[in-house]
Structure 1
Amino acid sequence: MPELQNCPNCDKLFVKALRPVCDACAREVEEKFETVYTFIRKRENRRASIEEVHEATEVEIDLIMQFVREGRLHLSQFPNLTYPCEKCGAKIREARLCANCRDEINEGLQAGEKQKAFEDRKRDRERARYQTYSALGDKVRREKP
């Protein structure tokens, strides 16, 4: 559902529906994308790094990285467009984390799951140990008068 909001870039009031910024800022981003794409599309610039693209086009590095993350710039055509891993800073071409950081996080998650499973088993054993059983005594006979 559309809502009224201030643009995070220019602070103008706009109706937020499809984009998180106003129309003017969205057009500005599209113009910057066209500038970047026109630059790196040339054969001699296809091997340019993000820093070189920034220097040549004066488009912000963060915005160029956003274009790469969004898949608007196909990395198969531009092999040197990399950006830093959000955890360790290693140069990557996809996602937000490098393979080493992803593996490290996954190992931590698996270790946490193993610990939780161990604690659940331990708790179940303790419950079983102290569980009491009761048996019904002999049936009560009704005596007839």
Structure 2
Amino acid sequence: MKVSKPVCPDCARKELDTVKRIRDYLKPKERRNAPVLQVSQDLDIPVRYIEYLIREKYFDLTRYPSMQYKCKNCNTLITLGEYCSSCAEELRKNLLSTNEDAGKNNKDNNDPDGNFYKTRL
């Protein structure tokens, strides 16, 4: 049986029921802009689980603009991905500099046998 998520059918059903509860809660206009913390408190659903559901794209953020969650690094409110744009750019720069440093280290070592063993470890 092909499954779209690595969870059992009962857990998938519970997840969809939770999404329906949140959508029903946010349906009235006066609650449409309720922050995640308020939704969590009123429905007794953990904030981290609501954030997970937002990341999994269960909510149209144009319709529910308050459904934001915190960046994993700096806690800025975001609506897409794991990191805000500034943290993502900083991570990208760090990765690029690490790759450049690794490339320089490989060029400095001209021992052909040494590289043979390093590439296989």
Tell me the TM-score normalised to structure 2 length.
0.76
Q: Which runs of 5+ in 2 are unaligned?
A: 113-121
- Report the residue type matching 2:72 in the other structure: E
**Is residue 72 from structure 1 mapped to residue 49 from structure 2 by the alignment?**
no
Distance 1:28 1:112 in 2: 42
Q: Say which structure is richer in helix.
A: 2
Deviation at 1:87, TM superposition (A): 2.0
1:81 to 49, 55, 67: 67
**Is residue 101 from structure 1 mapped to residue 87 from structure 2 by the alignment?**
yes
Q: Which runs of 5+ in 1 are unaligned?
A: 3-16, 128-145
Distance 1:29 1:114 in 2: 43
Between 1 and 2, higher relative CO (CA 8 Å, sep ≥ 6) is seen in 2
Q: Is the 8 A contact 1:47 1:78 kept in 2?
A: yes
Identity %: 21
Bigger Cα displacement from structure 2, 68-77 vs 113-122: 113-122
Give the CA RMSD over aligned residues. Answer: 2.3
**Is residue 39 from structure 1 mapped to residue 25 from structure 2 by the alignment?**
yes
Q: Say which structure is richer in strand.
A: 1
